[in-house]
């Protein structure tokens, strides 16, 4: 399974932390582990950069109930 990385933010040091990792679960089976991710921070960053978002990206945000999109 490929590892997804969160958007980087230059003010936060632009570190890459995996959004999802795969670990061995009970009986050796693989399970996805998702660490805490600051969704509010990501959403505020998107709003601040909305002029750079494509019309498709804005439409997807609007589909999910984002009022400013």
- Please give the pLDDT value at position 29: 77
In the chain (69 residues long), the average pLDDT of successive 10-residue segments reads 56 58 73 72 89 93 89
Say how far apart CA 16 and CA 49 lie, in whole Å: 20
Q: What are phi and psi of 35, to 5 degrees?
A: -75, 170
- Please give the pLDDT value at position 26: 73
Letter string b/e over residues 24-60, b meaning 16 or more CB atoms within 10 A of that residue's CB: eeeeeeeeeeeeeeeeeeeeebbeeeeeeeeeeeeee
- Please give the pLDDT value at position 49: 92
- Please give the pLDDT value at position 3: 57
């Amino acid at each position: 399974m490929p590892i997804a990385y969160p958007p980087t933010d230059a003010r936060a040091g632009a570190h890459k932390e995996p959004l999802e990792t795969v670990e061995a679960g009970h009986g050796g089976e693989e399970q996805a582990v998702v660490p805490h991710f600051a969704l509010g921070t990501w959403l505020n960053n998107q709003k601040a950069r909305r002029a750079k978002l494509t019309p498709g990206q804005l439409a997807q945000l609007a589909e999910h109930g984002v009022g400013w999109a």
